[in-house]
Every structure is written in structure tokens, then in C-alpha cells.
Amino acid sequence: MRPVRVGIVGYGTVGQATARIIASHAQDAHQRSDVLLNVTKVCRRTPVTSADLPQGAQLVTDWRQVVHAQDVDVVVETIGGTTVAGEVVRASLESGKPVVTANKNLIAESGEKLFALAAQKNLPIGMEATVAGGIPILRVLSESMSGDRVQAVYGILNGTANYILTQMETTGAGFEKALTEAQKAGYAEADPTFDIDGIDARDKLCILARLAFNARVSPTDIATIGIRQVSDVDIHYARRLHSKIRLVAMAERNYDGLDLSVRPWLVEDHSMLAKVEGVNNAVFLQGEKVGTQMFLGRGAGGDPTGAAVVSDLVEIARNMVAGRVAAKALSGFTNWNNATLHPGRRAVSWYLRLTVTDRPGIIARVAEVLAEKEINIDSVFQEPHMSKERLSFVITVEPVLKATIQAAVKLINQFDFMKEPVLLLRIDNSSESV
């Protein structure tokens, strides 16, 4: 049997893991799926020691030498970024080669165009690795949910942010300290913006929402708030509320449209969202018929991501050997609806943390604003012995629409006693009945 020859562009953590898995699992893949994968070309601009190169593979420094190589049947794009990566994917498709990518930014930003090109060329783009590492959530959405209608897909899609929040919970560290530790542990990058500001989660949600709802969604449609403003004070108040703080990305069917957001939630201790700790990812899928399902696992790292890349490669190889296109990778990406966005059409409870210069009458002023907007206060927490100069207290309110609470927050932020803007967390007290 002729092996399917793989070229890898971008030979960092994921690219190398992919090559290692192909080498170590060749036998299994052959037996299970009747395909042989073989890495023939690797592109990386900086030197690679020969021990890190797959046996028999040629190292090149220009990606065109992979994409246009005679001995490459499928291209793996693990270069990252969107500029060169986009060129690599386009050029591969143009030269008749299927592509597998782990690049969520690229797919979120340019997925529609790339999939249109792929459809035109009748070629698949594998992208299982773009969301939630080894958790095969894209395959589940595109294939297994074909017997159901998705109501919502949501979850914890960024392991770095979740690691930081979990560290703050367990060590009592503040945000900055937890971030530094995550960087030391290799869980956060030197520039952590993508992870902690929710951009990475947003891009993943964008991909999930397209598949779940067949909807034309772009990353900028998604209101995105990260965890930068979450402080040790919030972790403390969360504990008093028997809750934890989680960065949740959610896409929900809402009347005739979609509600999309990435923001920190306050989730009850006994909820499944609260159980997701450290660098794990969890995706919740609410189907009309199947009810709520949860998929939990490692969301990043070379090995899980590499395994997802290889699962796409095996599927593509299997189809190439049989002389057909991988239908799955194309379907659901060429037949989009225009999404109507209805952000926040469902009333939910909220957590407001205010940090103020203390003086008499503050709670009265805040309560007045809330009353004016017809928002009912559910509870107020203020710890004793806080500095008058920087006093933090928390108000939780009964369910209202996002627009309503945001209008109130806007007014509250204008008070001169406010030391920083209100931190607003969505409270999930649905105790999702998985």
C-alpha cells in the first residue's frame, strides 16, 4: 500500500508532536484504519536537530518547498499566525492538496473564504485541532449531532485562563501573581493577551458556533471580556457564594437568532463548570433531543493537539486511498445561514463587584441606580476591616437582561467614589442538569 505523504509547515510543539505520533502510531493506524502515514517534508526556518526530524523526512526552510513538493500529498499547517499560515493553506488547496490545520485564529478569521476555496477544489480542510485540543468536539458537532438540533454550545475553551483562575482559587494568589506563575509553568505565553483577554476562546467559539448552527459568524460578532479584571477579592467573594469563577464562551440559540459571548461567569461549586480545573477544557452541548452533554479533557499541549491533527490526517488519508473526498470536512461550511445576533435576550442573575473609596451612603446611591432600572438586589456582601481607600463589596442581583444591567453599571461607573469600573460576572445558577 502506498503511504499517504505528509508535509508539515511550522515545526514547533504541535508540528513535532504530530510527527512523533505519526511515527509511533503508524502500526495502529494501519491496522485500525488501513492507512499508512509518512512525513516526507518538514518546514522550519530555525535549525532542527536531526533527532527531532522524522526518519526519512527532508528539512526545508521555505514553505513553498512543502506545498509544491511532488512527494507531499497532504499539508499540515502548524505555523501559527494568520498571514503566512493563510498563504500556506490557500496555496496547498490551489495545488490540489488537502490541508490540516491547528490554527484557530486563521479559521475564525478566514474560515469562510478558505472553505469556499476548499469546496471549489473539492478538497477537505481538517481542523479538529483548532478547538479544545484532543476533545473531538468538531467531529461530534458536524457528524454526531446530525440527528439532533443544537440549542447551545458553551464551555471553558481556554486552558491558560482556567489555570490562572484555578491557581487563584487554590493558592490565594492575585491575578498578576497567578499569571506570572502560569508563565513560569509554561501554561501562559510571554504575551498572554490572547488567552487572558478571551480572544483565543472567542475564536474557538466562533468555529463551534458555525458548525453548531450553520451560521455565518465572525469573531468580531462575539462580545468578549477576559479575566484581567478578576481579582483575589472576587475569588474570596465567590467562595462566600459557594461558587467559582470561570471564563465561559457561549453560543446559544435565542428566538430566531444567536447569542454569543465570552465572559467570566460565577458558577456554583457543585456545577460541572466549576469542576473543570487547571488547563482542562470542557464543552457542553445542549441538543433538543440528546439533552445536555459534557466533553471534558486536555484542551491544549503538543500531544493532545497533535493527536487531533493525526485523526484528521487518518480520515483524509482513508478517503484519499478510497479515491473520494472527506465529505465531513466540507459539509456545514459551505451552506451557511446569515446569523441574526440577539445578544443577551435571556434574563440572568449578575454579580457586581464595586471597588470604592469608602464614605457614607455609597450602597444607598448604588441601590438607587439599581432600583431605577427595576433591578432587584439578591444579596450584598462586604467583608469587615477593608481599607477605606480601596474597599471592595459585592452585590448580586436577580435575573435581568444584559442590556439592563449594563445600563445600570454604566451609571454606577460614573460615581466619583468608584476606584475602578464595576466587575460584572454572569451568574449561572441553572445548575445545568447534565
CA pair distance 23, 152, nearest whole angstrom = 38
Minimum CB distance to a second copy smaller for 125 or for 394:
125
Query: Taking CB under 8 A as the criterion, which residues in 209-268 touch a second copy?
Result: 214
313 contacts a second copy (rule: CB under 8 A): yes
**Partners of 280 in beta bridges:** 298
Residue with cell 464551555: 155
Minimum CB distance to a second copy smaller for 157 or for 409:
157
* Residue among 6, 314, 329, 400 that touches a second copy (CB under 8 A): 314
Residue with cell 499569571: 179
* Residue among 50, 83, 335, 387 that touches a second copy (CB under 8 A): 335
272 contacts a second copy (rule: CB under 8 A): yes
Q: List all residues 6 or more positions away from 47 whose beta carbon is below 8 Å from its beta carbon.
A: none
Minimum CB distance to a second copy smaller for 123 or for 179:
123
Nearest distance from residue 147's CB to a second copy, in Å? 3
**Angle at the Cα of 127 from the Cα atoms of 304 and 97, rounded to 5 degrees:** 120
* Residue among 3, 13, 23, 25 that touches a second copy (CB under 8 A): 25
Nearest distance from residue 272's CB to a second copy, in Å? 7
332 contacts a second copy (rule: CB under 8 A): yes
Q: List all residues 6 or more positions away from 81 whose beta carbon is below 8 Å from its beta carbon.
A: 103, 105, 106
Residues, the chain: 434
* Residue among 12, 172, 291, 421 that touches a second copy (CB under 8 A): 291
Active-site choice (204, 244, 328, 402): 204
Minimum CB distance to a second copy smaller for 124 or for 134:
134
* Residue among 9, 135, 152, 400 that touches a second copy (CB under 8 A): 135
CA pair distance 10, 27, nearest whole angstrom = 25
* Residue among 185, 347, 403, 434 that touches a second copy (CB under 8 A): 434
* Residue among 202, 298, 353, 426 that touches a second copy (CB under 8 A): 298
* Residue among 16, 92, 231, 311 that touches a second copy (CB under 8 A): 311
Q: List all residues 6 or more positions away from 362 whose beta carbon is below 8 Å from its beta carbon.
A: 354, 356, 415, 417
Nearest distance from residue 80's CB to a second copy, in Å? 20
Query: Taking CB under 8 A as the criterion, which residues in 75-104 touch a second copy?
Result: none
6 contacts a second copy (rule: CB under 8 A): no
Nearest distance from residue 258's CB to a second copy, in Å? 15
State how beta strands 58-60 and 74-77 pair.
unpaired
CA pair distance 282, 201, nearest whole angstrom = 12
151 contacts a second copy (rule: CB under 8 A): no
* Residue among 310, 397, 405, 422 that touches a second copy (CB under 8 A): 310
Minimum CB distance to a second copy smaller for 257 or for 297:
297
Minimum CB distance to a second copy smaller for 5 or for 328:
328
Annotated active-site residue 177? The verdict is: no
181 contacts a second copy (rule: CB under 8 A): no
* Residue among 52, 112, 181, 303 that touches a second copy (CB under 8 A): 303
> Which residues are designated catalytic?
204
Contacts to a second copy by CB under 8 A: 17, 21, 25, 28-29, 31-34, 128, 133-136, 139-140, 143-149, 214, 272, 275, 280, 287, 289-298, 303-304, 306-315, 318-319, 322, 324, 327, 331-332, 335, 434
